Amino acid sequence: MNMKKSTAALLFAAITMMSAMPADQVITKEDGMDVVNTTTLGQKVTGYIGTTPLKIYIKRNKVVKIAALRNQETPKYFAKVKKGLLTKWNGKKVKEASKMKVDAVTGATYSSKAFIKNVQLGLDYYQHHKH
């Protein structure tokens, strides 16, 4: 096989694989709720050590809960973030929750700010892309 044919074959395979992927992997369904995963949305949002991806669970246009996904933040400090922030948006309508001004947790400022930014990114994305 010559170089042009192999390049064309690789390109075709890549396009075929991409077209087989779901159109939106950011918003999925789980237990009757829309779930926004901020892993790709917040790729550039870093805490003290790295990214702080979240899952935001939404039902009937209200935030049900937020779950922190695996990250590289120091567990001791990220535990403070989770204790101080995980439930701040619960029960709020998405539009209201996306506009909330939430303070960072003392002693875990970088991780808190990244967490808050991920929530905002996820809620904004949901408002513009909900099914």
Q: Is the pLDDT of residue 28 over 90?
A: yes
The answer to whether the beta carbons of residues 73 and 111 sit under 8 Å apart is yes
User: What is the average pLDDT across 4-21?
Assistant: 47
Catalogue the E-assigned strands of the chain: 27-30, 33-37, 54-59, 62-68
For the stretch 65-114, pLDDT in tens is 999 999 999 999 999 999 999 999 999 999 999 999 999 999 999 999 99
Let me know how long the chain is.
131
pLDDT at 31 over 70: yes
Reduced to 3 states (helix: H, G, I; strand: E, B; else coil), residue 2 is coil
User: pTM of the entire structure?
Assistant: 0.80
Q: Which two tokens stand for residue 112?
A: 């808190």
Q: What is the pLDDT of residue 57?
A: 98
